[in-house]
């Protein structure tokens, strides 16, 4: 058209093109603004849901706090600890009783071993080689006495702890 000297038509078309480009730019800006508003709405909706959830949690926490009786819980825990200690002491006493019962059997075996060794020494045989006995069983008597003394001390300590717990009731 410009070649045909229709400048007025070209000018009108150019103005239309400029207006169309400006309109397209405005449309892109409006689209961007609408997307921003949409994002804000989504954020606000998520915030609202979070607030509702927090309200529910707060109510649940309030109910739990109202139901919790701290002094009562502390008393229960102290009683539990006390009973647990008593049970532990009784368990130790039972273990000691079982150990003592088994020690008597071991003492009889050790005494028998000592007698066998004495007899073998009298006849001049090397008992360690013949019987494959290792360690000095003749020295067992002093060790046994020291162990018994130690056990007696432990028993006294346990009895004192038990008496202290009974008096705490």
Q: Could you report the per-residue pLDDT of 41-50, keeping only the tens digit for each?
A: 999 999 999 9
pTM here is 0.35
Q: Are residues 118 and 103 in contact, defined by beta-carbon separation less than 8 angstroms?
A: no
**155 compared with 87, residue with greater pLDDT:** 87
pLDDT of residue 151: 83
Please give the average per-residue pLDDT across 152-162, as a whole number. Answer: 86
Percent residues over pLDDT 70 in the chain? 80
As a whole number of angstroms, the longest Cα–Cα distance in the chain is 149
Selection from 169, 163, 162, 168 nearest residue 89 by Cα: 162
**Residue 86: Cβ within 10 Å count:** 15
**Residue 6: Cβ within 10 Å count:** 12
Quick one: DSSP state of residue 156?
H
Q: How far apart are CA 155 and CA 67, in angstroms?
A: 45
Q: Could you report the per-residue pLDDT of 18-69, keeping only the tens digit for each?
A: 999 999 999 999 999 999 999 999 999 999 999 999 999 999 999 998 888 8
- pLDDT interval class at 125 (50, 70, 90): low
- pLDDT interval class at 75 (50, 70, 90): very high
Structure tokens at 34: 């609408």
């Amino acid at each position: 058209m410009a070649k045909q000297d229709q400048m007025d038509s070209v000018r009108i078309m150019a103005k239309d093109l400029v207006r169309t480009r400006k309109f397209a730019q405005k449309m892109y800006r409006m689209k961007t603004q609408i997307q921003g508003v949409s994002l804000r709405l989504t954020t606000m909706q998520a915030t609202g849901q979070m607030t509702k959830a927090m309200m529910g949690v707060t109510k649940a926490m309030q109910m739990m706090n109202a139901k919790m009786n701290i002094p009562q819980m502390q008393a229960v825990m102290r009683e539990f600890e006390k009973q647990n200690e008593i049970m532990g002491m009784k368990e130790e006493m039972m273990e000691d009783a079982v150990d003592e019962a088994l020690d008597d059997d071991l003492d009889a075996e050790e005494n028998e071993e000592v007698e066998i060794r004495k007899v073998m020494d009298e006849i001049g045989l090397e008992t360690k080689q013949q019987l494959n006995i290792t360690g000095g069983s003749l020295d067992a008597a002093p060790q046994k006495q020291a162990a018994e003394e130690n056990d007696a001390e432990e028993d006294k300590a346990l009895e004192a702890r038990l008496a202290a717990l009974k008096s705490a009731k």
